[in-house]
């Protein structure tokens, strides 16, 4: 009998931050963002889910999505709030997202991601 091991699947990118009342994102969700294998789903997540997650961080987070040709430009500002800083650190800690989509950072907590779908 041959034993076939199934590959270990990384957790998917989350669609909620499970924020507490402050609203700080839960550490479990931040870890899920950092460790998710986003090679196949990262582009969709950045364009569609990332902006929705930013809604959970209001009134501090500012997120805008603009389309230029076939490229989506996702702009995120932390407003200097630590909950947003934790969130963007987790996003940038995801190797695939950081390598494939992170475009720029400006002083003051302003980030831009560019995604071609």
Environment class of 42 (CB within 10 Å of its CB; exposed 0-12, middle 13-18, buried 19+): buried
* 3-43 pLDDT, tens digit each: 666 555 667 899 999 998 788 999 999 999 999 988 889 99
Overall residue count recorded for the chain in this entry: 117
Q: Tokens 């996702």 — which residue? A: 74
Helix axes 82-93, 27-35, angle to 10 degrees: 30
* 33-66 pLDDT, tens digit each: 999 988 889 999 999 999 999 999 989 999 999 9
Domain boundaries defined on the chain: 27-116
pLDDT at 42: 92
The region that residue 69 occupies, defined by phi over 0 for left and psi between -120 and 50 for alpha, beta otherwise, is left
pLDDT at 22: 80
* 59-92 pLDDT, tens digit each: 999 999 999 999 999 999 999 999 999 999 999 9
CA distances from 19 to 2, 42, 45, 109 (A): 45, 22, 18, 20
């Amino acid at each position: 009998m041959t034993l076939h091991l199934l590959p270990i699947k990384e957790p998917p990118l989350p669609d909620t931050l499970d924020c507490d009342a402050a609203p700080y994102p839960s550490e479990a969700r931040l870890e899920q963002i950092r460790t998710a294998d986003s090679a196949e789903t990262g582009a969709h997540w950045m364009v569609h889910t990332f902006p929705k997650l930013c809604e959970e961080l209001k009134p501090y987070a500012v997120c805008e999505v603009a389309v230029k040709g076939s490229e989506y430009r996702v702009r995120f500002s932390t407003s200097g709030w630590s909950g947003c800083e934790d969130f963007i650190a987790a996003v940038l800690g995801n190797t695939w997202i950081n390598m494939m989509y992170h475009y720029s950072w400006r002083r003051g907590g302003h980030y831009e991601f560019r995604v071609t779908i």
